[in-house]
A and B are shown apart, each in its own frame.
Chain A
């Protein structure tokens, strides 16, 4: 069980909009730590999609957007395309006795119908 909770799967038809939630707690997202998102295509390393809650690296289409509120964050994908079919992970910090450390969500598999 991951510290950050994501739905195991979401799906949508081409052209539609889907959102993926990332729910945390007062020891991570709710503590003010930023959230980042990654896309992982089958057999490849994760790719940074969104950083600092809502920023897109160069080359990431503006169809991808992120937001954060309270103890949760969301990734939205508009104009769904077949190539978006992948696993998506959120990532943040969590507080521990030894200091903040990196935590990931369990991942969400996006299926394009």
Chain B
């Protein structure tokens, strides 16, 4: 059973860059789409973007200018960088594996989530 685990600083200062890593275990990272999704406290889910193991990326248009994703297949990890953060970026950040096909994509495997707070 594939498992995902987010890791990274829980506190980031305003204007700095948020960096998170998702480690995949119980299966290979290859040949799948991997996404980052976030959820501010008491609010809904927001898709940040996805990366394929080839390195191809797609980002949420509303965040595209600040997001960079990368993948390291040798470590079975993929990463998120979100630049110029503000308090509005405070949220629980989830990594998830996308199942892509037909006319959409869904997320069957999720990490437990990690809270990132933006504050000075």
Q: Which residues of A contact B (CB under 8 A)?
A: 2, 32-36, 38, 44-48, 51-52, 57, 89, 91-93, 96-99, 101-107
Q: Which residues of B contact A (CB under 8 A)?
A: 35, 44-47, 50, 58-61, 64, 94, 99, 102-108, 110-113
A-B contact pairs, 28 of them (CB 8 A): A32-B103, A33-B104, A34-B104, A34-B106, A38-B45, A45-B94, A45-B110, A45-B112, A46-B107, A48-B108, A51-B99, A51-B106, A51-B108, A52-B104, A91-B106, A96-B61, A98-B59, A98-B64, A99-B58, A101-B60, A101-B61, A102-B35, A102-B47, A102-B50, A102-B60, A104-B45, A104-B47, A107-B44
Q: Contacting A36 at CB < 8 Å: which of B44, B46, B60, B104?
A: B104
Closest approach, in angstroms, between the C-beta of B8 and any C-beta of chain A?
A: 16
Using CB atoms, name the residue of chain B closest to A34.
Answer: B104
Q: B113 contacts A2, CB within 8 Å?
A: no
Closest approach, in angstroms, between the C-beta of B13 and any C-beta of chain A?
A: 27
Residues of chain B lying within 8 A (CB to CB) of residue A101: 47, 58-61
Residues of chain A lying within 8 A (CB to CB) of residue B47: 101-104
Residues of chain B lying within 8 A (CB to CB) of residue A46: 45, 94, 107, 110
Residues of chain A lying within 8 A (CB to CB) of residue B64: 98
Q: Kindly state the separation between the CA atoms of A101 and B45 in the bound complex, as whole angstroms.
A: 14
Residues of chain A lying within 8 A (CB to CB) of residue B107: 36, 38, 46, 48, 91
Q: A102 contacts B102, CB within 8 Å?
A: no
Closest approach, in angstroms, between the C-beta of B108 and any C-beta of chain A?
A: 5
List of 5 A-B pairs having minimum Cβ-Cβ separation, nearest first: A34-B104, A102-B47, A36-B106, A45-B110, A104-B45
Residues of chain B lying within 8 A (CB to CB) of residue A107: 44-45
Using CB atoms, name the residue of chain B closest to A52.
Answer: B102
Residues of chain B lying within 8 A (CB to CB) of residue A105: 44
Q: Knowing A34-B102, A52-B106 are in contact, say whether A45-B44 is a contact too (CB < 8 A).
A: no
